[in-house]
Amino acid sequence: MKYTLLFVIMLFVSLRGNSQDLESILEQESSDTTHLVFATFNGTRLLNGHSVETRKEGILEFMISHRFGRVNSGFDQLFGLDESNIRFGFEYAFADKLTIALGRSSFEKTFDTYAKYRLAQQKTGKNPFPLSITLFGSATAETIKDYLPENKPSFSERITYTGQVLLAHKMNPNLSLQVMPTFVHFNTVPFDNDPHDMFALGIGTRIKISKRVSLNGEYYYNINPFESVDVKNSLALGIDIETGGHIFQLVFTNAVSMIEKGFISETTGGFFNGDIHFGFNISRAFQIKKTK
């Protein structure tokens, strides 16, 4: 009797080991993985400024951005459509984590170059990490000839630098948030008592309303603006439409400039006074180098 009982127990133990179904073995074997959270934002731009996203290695992105004049400029200016500012840029991903770009804006005839490096990516699973972190650095040079012949500025006097840390968290598939501590250094300022070093804090969000369409918002609070100029904080609201390889963004903003130092530090339009520029960003990504 004792042996029979023992046999039944041992058989049960043995059978249990055997009957553990195949699916649960696979679950157990696959449980120790970590997943990267990607597509926090559709594109490399939130609206005016950058998102944490970088392109994958070998992708050349051609970007055309456009801002019309102020909507409240009246019928004579066709509500801003007569005036147009354009930036085009070539942005190449040398690695999944590193993009280097060259751009040129018609506004103040500015050339810009930036480097963007993806430091960390949000993760879920076994070793989770809550944030995607991207570092951004740019240098811009104004080449507009709005000076008196005897006051010709040197090249270095036309340069401005911007540094940003982009921190983003994808709450769920439809909601992403981003915070952008920003530092801008002007080699030349409008008046002597204006700060050369400026700090700003940006916040942004993406709310997906369908698989391919999202509403985006972006706001930069300028902590120590120029004193000689009535600088406003920049606000942008827009719609993002992704159509496979193309990203089309419709933008409503009080900023004219499409580069960091411009829209963060030199925006003068009041959004709620109607100084709104309508515009768009169009991006086309080309895979120059295959991933394998």
Binding-residue pattern over the window 135 to 164 for another protein, x denoting contact by CB under 8 A = ------------------------------
**Distance of closest approach, residue 1 Cβ to another protein, in angstroms:** 12
**Residue burial 118-154, b: 16+ Cβ < 10 Å; e: rest:** beebbbeeeeeeebbbbebebebbbeeeeeeeeeeee
Residue closest to 112 by CA, chosen among 217, 248, 263: 263
Alpha carbon separation from 200 to 44, 105, 151, 163 (Å, rounded): 20, 22, 31, 10
Residue 120: half-sphere exposure toward Cβ, Cα within 13 Å = 14
Binding-residue pattern over the window 45 to 84 for another protein, x denoting contact by CB under 8 A = ----------xxxxx-------------------------
**Distance of closest approach, residue 42 Cβ to another protein, in angstroms:** 9
**Distance of closest approach, residue 119 Cβ to another protein, in angstroms:** 19
**Contact region with another protein (CB under 8 A), list: 6-14, 80-88, 148-156, 263-271:** 6-14
**Distance of closest approach, residue 124 Cβ to another protein, in angstroms:** 10
Retrieve residue 13's tokens: 């133990």
Q: Position of tokens 């170059």?
A: 113
**Contact status: 25 vs another protein (CB under 8 A):** yes
**Distance of closest approach, residue 103 Cβ to another protein, in angstroms:** 21
**Contact status: 243 vs another protein (CB under 8 A):** yes
**Distance of closest approach, residue 99 Cβ to another protein, in angstroms:** 13
The set of residues, in sequence order, having a beta carbon less than 8 Å from that of 60 and lying 6+ positions away, is: 90, 91, 92, 93, 285, 286, 288
Neighbouring CB atoms inside 10 A of 212's CB total 14
Helix (H) or strand (E) holding 264: helix 260-265
**Contact status: 17 vs another protein (CB under 8 A):** yes
**Which pairing describes strands 34-36 and 123-125: parallel, antiparallel, or unpaired?**
antiparallel
CA 16 – CA 14 distance, rounded (Å):
5
Cα separation of the two ends of the chain: 67
Binding-residue pattern over the window 79 to 118 for another protein, x denoting contact by CB under 8 A = -----------------x----------------------
- Looking at residues 201 to 220 of the shown chain, list those that interact with another protein (rule: CB under 8 A): 211-212
Question: Binding another protein by CB under 8 A: which of 1, 23, 145, 149?
Answer: 23
Task: Give 23 or 230: the residue with its C-beta nearer to another protein.
Answer: 23
**Distance of closest approach, residue 24 Cβ to another protein, in angstroms:** 9
Contact 217, 205 (CB under 8 A): yes
CA 213 – CA 190 distance, rounded (Å):
41
Count of residues touching another protein (by CB under 8 A): 38
Question: Binding another protein by CB under 8 A: which of 197, 245, 268, 274?
Answer: 245
Residues in touch with another protein (CB under 8 A): 3, 6-7, 10-11, 13-14, 17-18, 21-23, 25-27, 29-30, 33, 35, 38-39, 55-59, 96, 173, 211-212, 243-245, 285, 287, 290-292
